[in-house]
Amino acid sequence: MTADKPPGGNSDTSGLWFLVDQSLDRHAMLVGRVAMRWAELHAHLGQLFTTIVSPSNVEIGEAAWNSLKVDRAQRDMLEAVAKVTLRNSPVLEEIQWALGQILPLEDSRNTAIHAPYIVSPGRKMATVMPWTKSGNQRAAKLAGRDLDLELKSYASRIEALSGFVLSLFLHMIDQQRFALPPRPKLPRPAQPMIRNVPRRKVMINDIRPRLDHLGSKVLSRAGLSHLRYLESVVLLRYIIISAEESANVTQSCQRWTYSP
């Protein structure tokens, strides 16, 4: 989803678009960090594979590694080769441990990147939230979660494993200079803390007047081009979807903690 600010000097409309842009930029940064750390992790796994398969000619190992287009297939190949080549080496156990930690994170990475999101603008800020009404299973996994903490948790765990794999690679190429690294203490995933407080169901009628007021300001703006008109309609649709989602969800007042 993109949000282009409408031209002109209407502060209400341009301010709303600014909040949406700001929220999207922050969310894109968090998702992008997960994607970049994941790519970095597999680049280090590729270095490790190349060192095991063809230490004297890295181009052979690189060609074999990059011939596979699926991350999991690459990891399976690494483990298969390591079982044969490093049968009596303590490095084999560390590689298998790392690969075992990566497997559940693969689902977290896919959820962060492939879940659909919507933006819910407010008075002073806009909130990105999973679009659970789309029926997407990955969006459902993120329902009710603090996305900032959740995505930071994913990236931190991937980053810790990436550093460990890099240390294994350095140990393989020069065991005199680089000792076998200890297993990292992985950051804990973000976890909910439920407080026993009265539950209140948010009703659509509570926010309908605000939606109508906002809609009248946006859609009656003088000189609004046809394209900008359509963009405004799309934005309002996202607001209504967010409101309807809130109306169908019982608020449980969850607080989240994250231990790095």
Give per-residue pLDDT as tens, 151-193. Answer: 999 999 999 999 999 999 999 999 999 999 999 988 877 755 4
> For residue 253, with 0-12 CB atoms within 10 Å meaning exposed, 13-18 middle and 19 or more buried, which class applies?
exposed
7 has a pLDDT exceeding 60: no
Choose between 258 and 50: higher pLDDT: 50
Residue 115 · residue 130 · CB < 8 Å: yes
10 has a pLDDT exceeding 50: no
- Taking the C-alpha atoms of residue 67 and residue 51, their distance in angstroms, rounded to an integer, is 17
Residue 141 · residue 60 · CB < 8 Å: no
> For residue 129, what are the contacts with CB-CB under 8 A and spacing of at least 6?
117, 118, 119, 120, 147, 242, 245
Tell me the pLDDT tens digit for each residue of 56-74: 999 999 999 999 999 999 9
Which pLDDT score is estimated for 255? 37
Per-residue confidence at 123, pLDDT binned at 50, 70, 90?
Answer: low
- What average pLDDT does the chain have? 77
Residue 167 · residue 179 · CB < 8 Å: no
- Number of alpha carbons in the 13 Å side-chain half-sphere of residue 76: 6
Q: pTM score, two decimals?
A: 0.69
Which pLDDT score is estimated for 169? 96
33-47, 145-159, 242-256, range with greatest mean pLDDT: 33-47
Report the candidate in 254, 98, 115 with the shortest Cα–Cα distance to residue 171: 98
C-alpha torsion angle, residues 234, 239, 242, 247 (rounded to 10): -130
Which pLDDT score is estimated for 189? 74
200 has a pLDDT exceeding 80: no
16 has a pLDDT exceeding 70: no
Residue 118: CB atoms within 10 Å: 20
Per-residue confidence at 144, pLDDT binned at 50, 70, 90?
Answer: confident
Choose between 133 and 207: higher pLDDT: 133
49 has a pLDDT exceeding 60: yes
Per-residue confidence at 15, pLDDT binned at 50, 70, 90?
Answer: low
Which pLDDT score is estimated for 197? 38
